Structures are given as C-alpha cells and as structure tokens.
Amino acid sequence: MIHIRNIDHLVLRVADLDKMLHFYCDTLGCSIERRQDSLGLVQLRAGDSLIDLVPVDGKLGRAGGAAPGAEGRNMDHFCLRVEPFDESEIRNQLAKHGYAAGPVEQRYGAEGEGPSIYVTDPENNVVELKGPPNT
C-alpha cells in the first residue's frame, strides 16, 4: 500500500513569469524559495508546499510543447509525498494495477532533496511520488 501524506509541489508551465510571480507572491503571499534560471525554474513557498513556475521559453518549459492554451498543457506534473518511500513496494503496487514507473532519482521538493519516481496516470498526467529528504 502507498501511503500519501500530502501534496509536495505543483509545477506550472507559464507564458508570463512576471505576471505569475505577481499573482502568487504579491497577491497570494507566496515567497520565492529558489531560482534556477539556467533551467527556467522558480520555486515558490506556499505554506508547507511548493509551487514551481516553469516559463515555456526556458529549458524545462520548451520540453512541454506549446504554451498553455487549447494546444498545450500548463501543468507539467504534481507531486505526492509518500512515507515510507519503499521503491520495491511502490513498483509492485503500480505494476499490480498495470502501471510502470520511471527510475528513482534525487529531486528537490518542499522538504529538500530526496528520492522520487514518476508515473503517468490514465489520462497522461505525470505524478511524482516523493520520499523523505536525504539526511
């Protein structure tokens, strides 16, 4: 069984980073936690979670296809924090239901760097299952 604790982060593909920063930071009160301009990624703190903004003209954003709209999606993936993070149990649970997952990689989330695995749902939404931060 996979035990979901909470949503770790959301990743939004954005056409106008400045407007999105204004909305999420100035309007809603999020703060910039981390920027990786070489990748095209701005991570915002939203309580215990993160909202990642990925400009569509940046390195990560270009990988998602067209800009958000009728022909393109604006959400890259969402992440669920799982505990414990047991790779074999997660893979077995997914396989039991006909799903295959990608490799385990170290990724940064709301609690820091830690193991995660991606799987795609039936409608091609990418779901990241994220374990605890490395100690």
Residue 70's pLDDT is 66
Q: How confident is the model at residue 28 (pLDDT cuts 50, 70, 90)?
A: confident
Does any domain span residue 135?
no
Number of structural domains (the chain) is 1
Does any domain span residue 116?
yes
Q: Which two tokens stand for residue 18?
A: 């400045």
Does any domain span residue 87?
yes
**3-class DSSP state of 75:** strand
Range of the structural domain that residue 118 is part of: 4-130
96: CATH:
3.10.180.10
Query: Rounded to 10 degrees, what is the CA torsion of 105, 66, 18, 118?
Result: -20
Q: How confident is the model at residue 13 (pLDDT cuts 50, 70, 90)?
A: confident
Does any domain span residue 124?
yes
Does any domain span residue 81?
yes
Does any domain span residue 126?
yes
User: Global pTM?
Assistant: 0.72
Query: What is the distance between the alpha carbons of residues 130 and 90, in angstroms, rounded to a whole number?
Result: 11
65: alpha, beta or left? (left if phi > 0; alpha if psi -120 to 50): left
Query: What is the distance between the alpha carbons of residues 55 and 98, in angstroms, rounded to a whole number?
Result: 33
Taking 3-state DSSP, the helix, strand and coil percentages for the chain, each rounded to the nearest 5, stand at 20, 45, 35
Does any domain span residue 103?
yes
Tens of pLDDT, residues 34-89: 999 999 999 999 889 999 999 989 888 888 777 776 666 677 898 989 889 999 99
